[in-house]
Structure 1
């Protein structure tokens, strides 16, 4: 079920741009006045005289709504609208409160919101912005001495480092995240961080270290979920495990194994996570193209293009660009020619 305020889309999903506007109004007006009025440009956010539980709850709700939107539609439709709630959250934090419990919630909420906005930047290809937001979340975690928030920030920093060609930094960030997560009683969190480490090792071409991290991730995942698993990890199931392993094998230059795992990722994905279905379908298309299966790659690529009608993600589009590049030498094949023509067609979300 969708979180409150985010209607079920059913078999006739809303246009992503309309849904983005609905969601923007919902999380900017659904909470107390502190989160209600979007400022113009970079105007300072207004804060109430007293900051309490309603304000903390509004920040937490904004985080949930952003995540729910991203699960279905990707980041591009919301990123430009998400910065104001974050500014307001930090203004609330600066305003302060005399209640330690509320202060902790404000720190955690502001940090999680910074990560969510950072992810919107990350997924839409705005990498410097993403790095800045993730660093802001990490600083917030350090000030609050919040190990769970620190682990989350390092997890996303590792992912960003991998995506921007800094694999050694990805390894270091993932290992730091594992250090922060120890003692949190969440094997699934440690599993995801081990996968982030594996992605870094794959980028470095270190197959032995990558396989070791993958085995650790699988073993930790096999311990099952616990009540201590962070709320933000709802996306991390068997499909995500398979998909991230596929990306490791692709980086190591083994498209056959990559395609095996990507195929399983698509098959196992919960239909709610439309964005990830599109992501792993694009991954599979690229792996098949690299593995010299052009006709199947083109067919899978067409499925990914269909999904991009409702998902807006710069990262996914970039993956399809890579698949199209790999298929270009096979452009005389009718199925490939059809895919390439669709890929080039104007009007496809960038």
Structure 2
């Protein structure tokens, strides 16, 4: 059991119901002072408990015995659904409808039954017992919710959605642990949960929460293995490889790990006809070789990516393609080709290619990311004025699209301008907001 965000609701449930302590007693148990505990209990979703305080609460939560844990879940389960969480984009009701474990009846249970309120995504309260069964219909509801996450990601960005997605992933994992199911239903649900873990990993990556993204991808690999779902494994490999490449650019990752993941994806798709999946695999490989400074392999892989994409555009209708591959188009390939040229030190070429991107045809989140990459390439090429003219609209879009990853892409532009410039002030303001989120 985890709490992804500590607000006053969770703190009071832990203190009053699970531990049955006073504020003074909780302060002593956690190593803090009573005024700090009172501050925790005033925390909101917008300003949750953070840092060492959150770690102390995590430790107390981890030490609960079964009875205390059940009381904690019960306390959260009676909170009104509307109070749990909402988003500015009106996301919650749609997902709540799509994920309510639907139509299945839960039997009456005693006080030892573990109950958990999941903020929004499963509707009201989930009662998980050994006799509770899940079916293919439940897997379909999870899949619809995954699609909703992907759609909303383009509208509002990963930082807005990641906590919600992670909470739901914990629900799905607990269902697999505590419910009964047939072989077919179990595989279908594990596959759907794996796709949920994959989108949660992507949202965490977009929010610049890389450790959380790794945990989600690890869950996704495990669930894909349980389901025997090779397509899901490929999806996870390419998502995790993309994260590894990004971290390599920042000096915190290993492009060789990305290539290992890409190789696994290539093995699993061997024999499939030409199309978008091969284009994406080749694009990821081209990125990794760009980071490694391997021009020959970069050129080979990017040529393969364009060849596969050209075939897909002529012979692979979107209706015959997995939905998670729909984003693979000429703009996406060109974007990563441009960034790989930057990795190779050819910033003029990177800026030239970035300027050719058809960003008006992209989703909102993708469009701002493409624009940010273009601005960064201009800054690296020495064109500070051009970088600001392209980067300022990206900053304005980031007021509504919460993508910390994209904000990080704009760091070269920030370095190229004066601190008190319009760009510098807006960038710093968004950075502070991202740190508080």
- After superposition, residues 265-276 of structure 1 pair within 5 angstroms as 265=357, 267-271=358-362, 273-276=363-366
Q: Give the Cα separation in 2 of the matches to 1:38 and 1:338.
A: 44
Q: In structure 2, which of residues 232, 247, 254 is the aligned counterpart of residue 164 of structure 1?
A: 247
Partner of 1:7: none
Q: In structure 2, which of residues 297, 300, 320 is the aligned counterpart of residue 209 of structure 1?
A: 297
Partner of 1:26: 94
Partner of 2:118: 39
Could you say which structure has the greater relative contact order, defined with CA pairs below 8 angstroms and 6 or more residues apart? 1
- After superposition, residues 189-200 of structure 1 pair within 5 angstroms as 189-200=277-288
Task: Give the conservation status (yes or no) of the 8 Å contact 1:148–1:184.
Answer: no
Matched position secondary structure for 2:117: coil
Q: Give the Cα separation in 2 of the matches to 1:146 and 1:186.
A: 20
Partner of 2:133: 50
Q: 1:200 deviation in Å?
A: 0.9
Matched position secondary structure for 1:312: coil
Partner of 2:411: 321
CA separation of 1:262 and 1:18: change in aligned 2, threshold 3 A: farther
Task: Give the conservation status (yes or no) of the 8 Å contact 2:407–2:431.
Answer: no
Partner of 2:374: 284
Structure 1 segments unaligned to the other structure (5+ residues): 1-16
* Larger Rg, first or second structure (1 or 2): 2
Q: Give the Cα separation in 2 of the matches to 1:201 and 1:25.
A: 43
Q: Work out whether 1:247 is the aligned partner of 2:339.
A: yes
Matched position secondary structure for 2:188: helix
Q: 1:152 deviation in Å?
A: 0.3
Partner of 2:392: 302
Partner of 1:223: 311
Matched pairs, number: 323
TM-score where L is the length of structure 1: 0.84
Deviations 1:63-118 (A, max 9, x none): 01110111111101111121222122223333242252x33321211110000001
Q: Give the Cα separation in 1 of the matches to 2:207 and 2:414.
A: 19
Partner of 1:126: 209
Matched position secondary structure for 2:127: coil
Structure 2 segments unaligned to the other structure (5+ residues): 1-84, 105-115, 120-124, 249-253
Alignment RMSD (CA, Å): 2.7
Partner of 1:4: none
Partner of 1:337: 421
Which has the higher mean CA deviation after the structures are superposed, 204-213 or 185-194?
185-194
Partner of 1:136: 219
Q: Give the Cα separation in 2 of the matches to 1:293 and 1:21.
A: 36
Q: Give the Cα separation in 2 of the matches to 1:264 and 1:21.
A: 31
Task: Give the conservation status (yes or no) of the 8 Å contact 1:171–1:198.
Answer: no
